[in-house]
Amino acid sequence: MDGLNPGDPGIGLLAGAVAGPPSREILLVCCGDVPSVGDGALRLVLDLRELQHARTRTLPPDANLEAEGPFAHALVWPRPHLGKDFSTWCLARGALALRPGGSLWCAVRKAKGADSLAERMVALMGEVDVVARDRGHRLLRSRRTEAMDPARARAWVEAEYVIEDPALPGLALRSGPGVFSRRELDAGTRVLIEHAERRAATPRGVIDLGCGVGPLSLWAGTRWPAAQVLAVDTNLRAVAMAQGNASRHGLAERVRVLPSDGLPRREEAEAMGLRTAVGLAVAPDLALVNPPTHAEPEVLGRFAEDLRQWLAPGGVAMVVVNRPGRMTEQLRRAGAVVEPFEYPGYHVLEARWPAA
């Protein structure tokens, strides 16, 4: 995953910065394990796939750290695809967890916004130094002194957006840094909703694979008041926000949101009690999917295979994409018959699996 490669020059810079201190004094803020940092460090993890090989202790990104810190060092490794507001969120989260005199470290590519992140560190901490450079990367450090602005840090950590859109009538969705889409409804999601509104027969069960903050599952739960909905995502902030949105709109009983890499295998689903919640008895007959655009072919292949496994006979998966080639190929490989529908800037692929 982006930014988690231990051989990356940015990770190397962070490793050099904290090669001496005891690891229990180190907080990794949504960055990968750092080679010089021992197992005693604490790591906040955004995506549950990062848990698989983590060496250090891990907690979800929004975990309460009061019982954990304060820390002497907080390390941030921004992932540009998640937006500058998430880097800002990480910096603020790290800053608040530091003890007085502690150091906030950020390794960032010069070409990926090093200057603007340095400005943010100044706004937060009162000062910043560029302490090292390596192959286009910079290592920035700020110390926690009287000059730090804790109120600003708290405001950045608590940043929240509201997504309102005519395609989601009566469904204001809360969102925040680190998730997709966060400030407004994604145009592809809107196309998919409009397509499903015209084309889908009333479903009994709906799958939202890669749910983000839940626009598709909550729209489906509202549009079809008898339907059971299963929504999953690997992004732990997104899952928490989607769960909050489902509760806020009185849909938590029927829209079940789970952290999961793809859909759970059937045995895992049974262990999670899904037999009654989405009902393996109420087998899902509609899937609404806006897959991650830049995902590797394996992820799209996994999505296609999961849909094949879970959709009831006669069910349909509606998948929105910018360019149809890669996803069509993966769906066909998983045995689907794919019918494409073209819209300005998007395609919706309807995938069906012929009876075996």
What residue ranges bind ligand SAM (CB under 6 A)?
A: 180-181, 186, 189, 210-212, 215-216, 232-235, 238, 261-262, 290-292, 295, 299
Q: CA–CA separation, 352 vs 355, rounded Å?
A: 9
Nearer to ligand SAM, 33 or 233 (CB): 233
- Cβ of residue 288: shortest distance to ligand SAM, in angstroms? 8
Nearer to ligand SAM, 186 or 350 (CB): 186
Q: CA–CA separation, 75 vs 95, rounded Å?
A: 10
CA distances (Å), origin 353, targets 17, 209, 334: 53, 17, 9
Write the CB contacts of 198 (distance below 8 Å, at least 6 apart in sequence): none
Q: Of how many residues is the chain composed?
A: 356
- Cβ of residue 103: shortest distance to ligand SAM, in angstroms? 31
Q: CA–CA separation, 10 vs 149, rounded Å?
A: 26
Q: CA–CA separation, 259 vs 117, rounded Å?
A: 30
**Closest CB to ligand SAM belongs to which residue?**
210
- Cβ of residue 294: shortest distance to ligand SAM, in angstroms? 9
- Cβ of residue 90: shortest distance to ligand SAM, in angstroms? 17
Q: CA–CA separation, 160 vs 248, rounded Å?
A: 15
- Cα 294 to its chain centre, rounded Å, is 13
Nearer to ligand SAM, 18 or 318 (CB): 318
Q: CA–CA separation, 120 vs 70, rounded Å?
A: 22
Nearer to ligand SAM, 17 or 230 (CB): 230
- Cβ of residue 309: shortest distance to ligand SAM, in angstroms? 14
Nearer to ligand SAM, 128 or 173 (CB): 173
- Cβ of residue 219: shortest distance to ligand SAM, in angstroms? 10
Nearer to ligand SAM, 9 or 262 (CB): 262
